[in-house]
Chain A
């Protein structure tokens, strides 16, 4: 197992970026891992970005800063532009094309489109489940975390709309390869 996994999620305020980090972190805790999660949202009021930085490791974590994220979930173009260059060639960027519509083709890392907002609107008639779809997509790539534990932690943190959340999670899982 890779000793230290770094994940950055960033987007606008209100997209549930902090919640997303919490769900991931909670699942990692259940799996017996050490976790740190920093949330920066000092600038959200001014239309800036919100960011969660999650570090997961079987060992005690020194730096809680994600300087070189293994996973980067980009939910706004501003966030994508700001953090894309920190992702190493071995890393993965998952982005929602509804927000990130101009890709930097020069990056060495993998960039996977997760049309979460569009899928959420198509399947559930509202965009609110986009976050869950992203999580489902992520779980396909995040070998460190058990898929079922991640879903369990999602349902524990978001107790509303359980059936839809399960469906959305699976839809996310199925939409990337």
Chain B
């Protein structure tokens, strides 16, 4: 095990390489550019390929090409590039191509602010493309070390589920320096809980049967198996079809291969003081969860009955974590309130669900303490003159 003071970008790169990634295509964008840079340096050293694309849409299509040719492939971007993945993301979902995407969130909409963190793509990671009829997988680390682990995990899940997996980070995670431990061998990887799934070759010529099964090797080209893959609704043989019945079978597979195997994904979360009869549960993901955890620990010290639930697996949404009747406070790096809507849906019916938003800056300890105090005293939250209850 080696320890470094390095950035999340470094951690993601090393995690990808440990997971067997040997193909990266990207397009420069703050704050994910350093991943492309470190991939361009590291991949050739380990027999991999780095390509710089003409735009993000091409970057992910290049990755699709690499994956169809047998590589574990990855791309990385921020919000304005993630939206350009919409085309290839849909292709990879529909053709069931394993890929890993890292999105380092910054302040939006559009180009917004480049050098500050945001969480504006919570729902976009659920609906990264058009057309519906699919389920997605998204993992959200809150540190550089965990960004490495979740990158490894994303490769694992993408192989088993034959689908693109997004690691949703933010600017503070990717740009920030932390002490990072990098495992040096398989034993150390196991010790750190890293799971690896090898790329297997689809035997062809059938595309995929109408089943919710996972662990079917993904389609690969160049092995003369007669494999077919396209943007069209496929028959089970991979031919393009206009038959609604075929579409039903295809959509069933895309949705239920993920929904019916949630046990492989959904257990990932971090609970603090949740079993200690909390009156108020603070829900968050990514970097904000770190200031939340500090604030919740302080509040416990003051005798307030508060717990923290930090989500790591965002999609499929872990409804089963929201069984407790309590006051919920959802802390997000956006002003419009995204995660809070899912919490409202998943929480027991008569729970009060509140929202504390900010963007670009993390909420301060004072912000959080004030919110805790108000909610425990049944007072409405207001901040910077906005009625935040209006989400």
State the A residues within 8 Å of B (CB).
Answer: 21-22, 25-26, 28-29, 33-42, 61-65, 67
Contacts and interface: CB of A to CB of B under 8 A. Distances in A.
A63 B294 contact: yes
Interface residues of B, number: 22
Contact of B179 (A35, A39, A67): A35
Contact of A35 (B5, B287, B297, B365): B5
Interface in B253-310: 287, 290-291, 293-294, 297
A92 to B, nearest CB: 21
Contact of A22 (B177, B287, B293): B177
B115 to A, nearest CB: 3
Contacts of B364: 65, 67
Contacts of B291: 62-63, 65
B297 A62 contact: yes
B5 A42 contact: no
B178 interface: yes
Interface of B: 3-5, 113-116, 172, 175-179, 287, 290-291, 293-294, 297, 362, 364-365
B365 A39 contact: no
A29 B115 contact: no
A87 to B, nearest CB: 15
A21 B364 CA distance: 22
B290 to A, nearest CB: 5
Contacts of B294: 62-63
Given A38-B172, A42-B115, A63 B290 contact: yes
Nearest to B117: A38
Contact of A42 (B114, B172, B179): B114
A67 B115 contact: no
Contacts of B5: 22, 25-26, 28-29, 35, 37
Given A34-B179, A63-B291, 5 more contacts: A29-B3, A33-B179, A61-B178, A61-B290, A64-B172
A62 B115 CA distance: 21
A78 B178 CA distance: 27
B362 A65 contact: yes
B300 to A, nearest CB: 13
B124 to A, nearest CB: 23
B290 A39 contact: no
Contact of A37 (B116, B177, B287): B177
Contact of A38 (B3, B4, B113, B176): B176
Contacts of A63: 290-291, 293-294, 362, 365
Question: A-B pairs with the 6 shortest C-beta distances?
Answer: A42-B115, A37-B177, A63-B294, A62-B294, A25-B5, A63-B291
Query: Which of A25, A38, A67 has the most B CB atoms < 10 Å from its CB?
Result: A38
B2 to A, nearest CB: 10
Contact of B176 (A26, A28, A33, A64): A64
B115 A36 contact: no
Contacts of A67: 364-365
Given A29-B4, A35-B5, A37-B5, A62 B179 contact: no
A36 to B, nearest CB: 5
A37 B178 contact: yes
Residue in B3, B178, B362 with the greatest tally of chain A CB atoms within 10 Å: B178
8 contacts: A28-B179, A36-B176, A38-B172, A42-B113, A62-B290, A62-B297, A63-B290, A64-B176
